[in-house]
Amino acid sequence: MRRVVLLTCWLATDAILFIGTYTLAYFIRVGLILSTDFPIDLYLRTVLAVAPMWLATLTALGVFELTTIQGSRRNILHMFAGAIIGLAFFTLAYYFTNNLFFSRLLLVYAGVLSFVVPLIWHLAFDQWQRRIYRKLPAAYPLLIIGINREAERFIKLLEEKQSPFRPVGILDPQGSSQKDVAGIPVLGKLNKLEEVVKSLKPTHLMQCSNLEHTINLMSVCRQHRMTYLLLPSVLGVVGAGETVESIEGQNVLAVKGR
């Protein structure tokens, strides 16, 4: 529910910002007047029509995904691409509907503003929404399976980055005597899995060890509508650029040799 409300807010504010940046570009170019040569109502009507297309582009590029790091290079490039595509949509839409030429400089202003302003807003919004997601009860409780240094590093990373995925408990197939790992309680062995899933209601399960349990952990996730996640180190993939790719439509885990 928190996700739906926050995502709706995010999309709405983005739409407002898109329209706002284009309006600002108009007044920067034209001045603080309502030009009769270049009527603002035609201009804004086109911006309004293009805004959903810009949002759809950003959505398709995965900008609003929960796992996207807003400040990452990849996301900044996606937002830049989104701004360019938005600008292209606007130019085409304005030309086809009004059959008029207009200022090229205005397009530069609109393009720059519709990239920079939403990007700054995304960085701020992301920090705020992380805090909201992490408030107890967490929006995305994460159950960790296995205790090892990789699991500990991962838990610490989630805490450090204030990730929306909040670890709530650990089950260790080996029956570790540790009471907690980085502050997250160790709740027992896998025979407690059903009980823990029912009581903590995790939305995600991260397997950090014991590859032999993969099928059964996925089975538990399917039955409880949880998302199963696998730390690549379980497969022996450590420090490599692993990606999920598709070969002839068949998904494969690719680890590029360097």
Partner 1 sequence: MQSFILAGGFATRLWPLTERRAKPLLPVAGIPLLSTLVGQIPGAVPVTVSTNAAFADDFKQWKKSVGKSDVRIIIEDAGHEDQKLGALGAVAQWITSENIDDDLLLLAGDNYVGCSMATFLAKFHGNPLIAGHDIADPEAAKAFGTIVLSSTLPSPGSPAGPGGGGGGGDTVTSFEEKPEHPKSTIVSTGWWVLPKSVLPILVDYSKAHPDNVGGIFEELLKRTIPVECFVFKELWKDIGSFESYMSLHCDVVNGAKIINPSATVSPDSELQESIDLGPKTRVNKSVLRNCIAFGKSTITDCVLDRCIIDEDCVLEGVDLTDKMLRRGTILRRR
What is the contact surface with partner 1 in residues (CB under 8 A)? 173, 175, 188-194, 212-213, 215-216, 219-220, 222-223
Cβ nearer to partner 1, comparing 135 with 222: 222
C-alpha torsion angle, residues 214, 215, 219, 222 (rounded to 10): 70
In the complex, the smallest distance separating the C-beta of residue 215 from partner 1, rounded to whole angstroms, is 6
The residue behind tokens 């060890």 is: 209
CB of 216 to partner 1, least distance (A): 4
CA atoms within 13 A on the CB side of 155: 26
118 or 146: CB nearest partner 1: 146
Nearest to 164 by CA among 70, 61, 57: 70
Q: How far apart are CB 191 and partner 1 at their closest, in Å? A: 5
Nearest distance in Å: CB 212, partner 1? 8
| Summary count for the chain: helices (H), strands (E) | 7, 8
Q: Is the peptide bond before 164 cis (omega within 30 degrees of 0)?
A: no
If the CB atoms of residues 74 and 192 are measured against partner 1, the closer one turns out to be: 192
Question: Measuring CA to CA, which residue among 31, 29, 49 is closest to residue 108?
Answer: 29
* Six token digits for residue 195: 């009980």
Smallest gap, in angstroms, from Cβ of residue 151 to partner 1?
A: 18
Minimal distance, residue 18 CB to partner 1, in Å: 39
Which residue number, 99 or 250, has a Cβ lying nearer to partner 1? 250
Rounded Cα gap, residues 156 and 184, in angstroms: 10
- Considering the complex, state which of residue 135 and residue 189 has its C-beta at the smaller distance from partner 1: 189
Instruction: Tell me if 235 sits within 8 A of 253, measured CB to CB.
Output: yes
Query: Residue 249 or residue 257: which is nearer to partner 1 going by CB?
Result: 249
